Amino acid sequence: MKKLELKYGCNPNQKPACIYMNEDKELPIKVLSGSPGYINLLDALNAWQLVKELKKAAGYPAAASFKHVSPAGAAIGLELDETLKKIYFVEEDNLSPLACAYARARGADRMSSFGDFIALSDECDIQTAMLIKPEVSDGIIAPGYSDEALEILKSKKSGKYNIIEIDKDYIPANTEVKQVFGINFEQGRNNIEINEELLKNIVTDNKSMTEVAKRDLLIAMITIKYTQSNSVCYVKDGQAIGIGAGQQSRIHCTRLAGSKADFWYLRQAPKVLALDFVDGIGRADRDNTIDIYIGDNSVEELLSDDRWKRVLKTKPDEFTKEEKREFLKTLSDVSLGSDAFFPFGDNIERAYRSGVKYIAQPGGSVRDDNVIEACNKYGIVMAHTGLRLFHH
């Protein structure tokens, strides 16, 4: 297939729309089911690049959950413990590494992942397909599908679920071109390989960086490479736990990503795990209830008009701000990547509140000394990579 006609572009009024290759080449993708749209394909192609790089850097199968051309989650296939299984709504045992990667990517920020586009680094197996089946999702891209997995995915959305197969060996041209307002923009593709060489210039007093931290920092940097700038990514145990995308201010990125990381961790608090949901409740209702319970208004909003009775078997206990603050103090060894330098130490202050111990950022600010001083204050290890990772 050399050209794929689309229903419309970003919005219904933007017609006609299509994707095609120059020089009469074949597209590197096949649509096995559904009719993906313009934004679906932007998500799919960016997400595929992310998971392909994650697998190469970390050596594990990888998955990503994309929304509006930025990842809501990204992860490698490390085994899930019982707590993560519970907060990710995973009941199966002995999951494949790919299924674990998907559960982590989808589960880190379930609110943002609602209606996502999924990318897998490896052939989709039946276990991964079974995890995807009950989720609200627009589509998936992978280098292949087992026969059983394909049948499961084709049954979603009454057969209209978007399933894309990509040529895993496809290599794009070194020059990329896009058009804005009738004007062509051309640049070299961002083919930089993100590896441990970028972490050697440690500028803080504390220079002790574990192998796990190095891996997580690589995951953070690869994730922000495909996140709309400005962007900051918090990573723990092989998965992004908070992504701040598209903010004009770096501190707002750090706060947004930090608040998501906090939310991810608070979902593991005993009071949240103890919420007793009514039988048969939908996943979206569970997510919304947990969001309200953990949020600033906490149980007060949930208890108004006895709202809790629709979703919970028993009245929940108050989860106070003090209790949440105390629980968050136990979050530790988080890694953070930033796509550009931190201009002020306030970013470090905010990151530390969400358990950040390791940081990778380009450096080069006139206030680098202030940022390094803030890291030293908390014993944080920071590497200057010298590499900016803007993505627009």
Residues annotated as catalytic (active site), given as ranges: 67-68, 230, 392
Q: Which residues contact 37 (CB under 8 A, 6 or more apart)?
A: 6, 7, 8
First-to-last alpha carbon distance for the chain, in angstroms, is: 28
* C-alpha to C-alpha distance for 87 and 264, rounded to whole angstroms: 9
In this structure, is the dihedral angle defined by the CA atoms of residues 177, 189, 55 and 103, taken in order, positive or negative? negative
For residues 223 and 379, give the distance between their C-alpha atoms in angstroms, rounded to a whole number.
25
260: region left, alpha or beta (phi > 0 left; psi from -120 to 50 alpha): alpha
CB 138 within 8 A of CB 118: no
> In the sheet where 29-33 sits, what is the strand order?
29-33, 162-166, 137-142, 116-120, 62-67, 70-76, 239-245, 231-236, 334-338, 356-361, 381-384
CA distance 5 to 27: 12
Instruction: Specify the amino acid at residue 120.
Output: L
Encoded tokens for 32: 């096995």
